[in-house]
């Protein structure tokens, strides 16, 4: 069956209405470049209508008790379990992920639903000691409003669920503008949400307000409508630092809230005491998984002088054993998303070589069988130092390898890039590992010991510093981004004492 036919069958199975599929915007699969479907894109006027409807939905939804809101998300998790294979396959077809990673992405959605359900009974505030007699203070968390989600192509469904599951239990409505490269998986998610909403209403008798989940298909102009709207309380934007640089000032100008999850340039340090077997396996998964198209992909490898040759030899050997090809046929490395991704990779390689890099791999493969798809051999480039090319995120499988001799120096190098997403150290020395995690160690939002840079669990807060944008999504207390904080002081006395002992009479 052609990919287009498989796509039609999967969409139908997930209950997607034909209304979305009657446009003229062609969606292509990175697997072979073939056309999967044509969808209708929204206009900025459509965006304004959706935002208005979402605002009305918020007014109703915020009054539903949080544990009841959690019940909707619990049912969504059930629907996702039912359709895990379908949605996972569609992620593979549309984003080019290998089967295990397509399924893994849907599992992540299920996990965040579970997390959010628990959270719906734990939106805790504080009680605070008042300095005044017969007064008490507390901190309360209230729903925020319309949450606009802008997402990237490489996690076409999980990023929406990280935001939406938390936003809904927190009492908000959600308008989602997915990547224009992956509208089909987004349409499928919306259909699964609608399924869950119907089941929720049947079992609880509570009507899900229309517009609680809205989908806007389009490019930057449609995303920009969310960014500029005073009715969008929070803009959660995932994508390149270039995009974040455009979005953040506009949201700030109207005093909206922004949650930014932008580019990374993630590093691993391998010290002399490291378990090299573990390190090499972690390098392979972190650097070539998802064809190097994860925000947390390993891009910089620092190996101690004394073990550099042996590590490099083993890494090259493991690279050579990796199968590249159709991601749905058991290969470990699938395609780049498109020609632009391939061109960017080649430009970065040329630049690094001009800066003294020694290249292994990086060339296009399978061009004869798939002239319209872009498969590459993951590249390893031995660099003489951390040059400008190394400091730039290129969204492709390029691993820059550098050696070091001094531990303090390598920590400084690891931090000496504009981005601050993920980092790790392989070391059996407690001193080195703990130093890496200390205030003087890694400056990233994610710092790991003896595991790679990618493949985060949903339980922790996810995000990074500096040009990665500073946002935190998913676990821990990331939910606080989706609520507004209120400080309350209650006087249950017959006096009116003022704070700081001020007398005003």
Contacting residues toward ligand NAD, per CB under 6 A: 150-155, 177, 179-180, 219-220, 223-224, 227, 238-240, 243, 246-247, 261-264, 295, 393, 395, 421, 468
To ligand NAD, the closest distance from the beta carbon of 219 in angstroms equals 5
To ligand NAD, the closest distance from the beta carbon of 336 in angstroms equals 11
To ligand NAD, the closest distance from the beta carbon of 373 in angstroms equals 17
CB neighbours of 11 closer than 8 A, spacing ≥ 6? 21, 37, 90, 184, 187, 188, 191
To ligand NAD, the closest distance from the beta carbon of 199 in angstroms equals 29
- CB nearer ligand NAD, residue 51 or residue 311: 51
CA distance 21 to 26: 10
C-beta of residue 452 within 8 angstroms of C-beta of residue 497: no
- CB nearer ligand NAD, residue 227 or residue 303: 227
How many C-beta neighbours within 10 Å does residue 296 have? 24
In angstroms, how far is the first alpha carbon of the chain from the final one?
A: 85
Catalytic residue list = 261
Distance of CA 497 to the CA centre of its chain: 49
- CB nearer ligand NAD, residue 198 or residue 240: 240
Can you tell me whether residue 47 is helix, strand or coil? helix
DSSP state at residue 466? E
CA distance 320 to 332: 12
To ligand NAD, the closest distance from the beta carbon of 427 in angstroms equals 26
- CB nearer ligand NAD, residue 171 or residue 463: 463
To ligand NAD, the closest distance from the beta carbon of 30 in angstroms equals 13
C-beta of residue 37 within 8 angstroms of C-beta of residue 161: no
- CB nearer ligand NAD, residue 155 or residue 302: 155
**Alpha carbon separation from 436 to 209, 270, 428 (Å, rounded):** 48, 12, 12
C-beta of residue 213 within 8 angstroms of C-beta of residue 198: no
E-strand stretches of 85-125: none
To ligand NAD, the closest distance from the beta carbon of 358 in angstroms equals 26
To ligand NAD, the closest distance from the beta carbon of 504 in angstroms equals 50
**Alpha carbon separation from 37 to 11, 19, 210, 372, 377 (Å, rounded):** 11, 12, 27, 16, 29
In this structure, what is the dihedral angle of CA atoms 467, 104, 348, 271, given to the nearest 10 degrees? 80
- CB nearer ligand NAD, residue 57 or residue 150: 150
CA distance 132 to 486: 19
Q: What are the backbone dihedrals phi and psi of residue 171, each rounded to the nearest 5 degrees, phi first?
A: 95, 20
**Alpha carbon separation from 33 to 28, 40, 187, 463 (Å, rounded):** 6, 20, 20, 32
- CB nearer ligand NAD, residue 274 or residue 337: 337
CA distance 186 to 136: 46
DSSP state at residue 478? G
Strand 398-404 with 364-365, pairing: unpaired
């Amino acid at each position: 069956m052609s990919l287009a036919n498989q796509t039609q069958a999967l969409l139908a199975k997930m209950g997607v209405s034909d209304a979305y599929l009657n446009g003229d915007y062609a969606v292509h699969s990175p697997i072979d470049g073939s056309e999967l479907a044509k969808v209708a894109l929204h206009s900025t006027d459509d965006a304004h209508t959706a935002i208005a409807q979402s605002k009305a939905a918020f007014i109703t939804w915020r009054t539903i008790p949080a544990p009841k809101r959690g019940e909707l998300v619990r049912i969504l998790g059930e629907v996702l379990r039912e359709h895990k294979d379908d949605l996972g396959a569609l992620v593979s077809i549309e984003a080019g992920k290998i089967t295990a990673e397509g399924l893994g992405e849907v599992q992540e959605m299920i996990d965040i639903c579970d997390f959010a359900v628990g959270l719906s009974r734990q939106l805790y505030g504080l009680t605070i000691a008042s300095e005044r007699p017969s007064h008490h203070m507390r901190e309360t968390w209230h729903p925020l409003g319309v949450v606009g989600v802008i997402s990237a192509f490489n996690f076409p469904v999980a990023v929406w669920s990280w935001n939406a599951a938390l936003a809904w239990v927190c009492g908000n409505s959600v308008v989602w503008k997915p990547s224009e490269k992956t509208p089909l998986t987004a349409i499928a998610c919306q259909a699964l949400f609608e399924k869950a909403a119907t089941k929720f209403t049947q079992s609880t008798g509570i009507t899900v307000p229309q517009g609680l989940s809205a989908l806007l298909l389009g490019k930057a102009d449609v995303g920009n409508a969310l960014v500029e709207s005073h009715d969008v309380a929070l803009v959660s934007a995932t994508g390149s630092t270039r995009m974040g640089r455009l979005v953040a000032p506009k949201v700030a100008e109207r005093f909206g809230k922004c949650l930014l999850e932008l580019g990374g340039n993630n590093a691993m340090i391998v010290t002399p005491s490291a378990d090299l077997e573990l390190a090499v396996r972690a390098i392979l998964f972190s650097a070539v998984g998802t064809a190097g198209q994860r925000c947390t992909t390993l891009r910089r490898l620092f190996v101690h002088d004394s073990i550099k040759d042996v590590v490099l030899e083993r890494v090259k050997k493991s690279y050579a054993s990796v199968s590249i090809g159709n991601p749905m046929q058991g290969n470990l490395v699938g395609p780049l998303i498109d020609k632009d991704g391939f061109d960017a990779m080649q430009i970065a390689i040329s630049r690094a070589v001009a800066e003294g890099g020694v290249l292994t791999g990086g060339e296009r493969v399978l061009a004869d069988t798939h002239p319209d798809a872009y498969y590459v051999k993951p590249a390893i480039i031995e660099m003489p130092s951390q040059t400008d090319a190394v400091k730039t995120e290129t969204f492709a499988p390029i691993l820059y390898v550098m050696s070091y001799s001094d531990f303090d120096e390598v920590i400084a190098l690891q931090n000496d890039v504009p981005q601050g997403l993920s980092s790790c150290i392989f070391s059996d020395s407690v001193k080195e590992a703990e130093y890496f995690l200390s205030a003087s160690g890694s400056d990233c939002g994610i710092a790991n010991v003896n595991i790679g840079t990618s493949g985060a669990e949903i339980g922790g807060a996810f995000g990074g510093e500096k040009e990665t944008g500073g946002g935190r999504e998913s676990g821990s207390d990331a939910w606080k981004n989706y609520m507004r904080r209120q400080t309350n002081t209650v006087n249950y006395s017959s006096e009116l004492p003022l704070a700081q002992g001020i007398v005003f009479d």
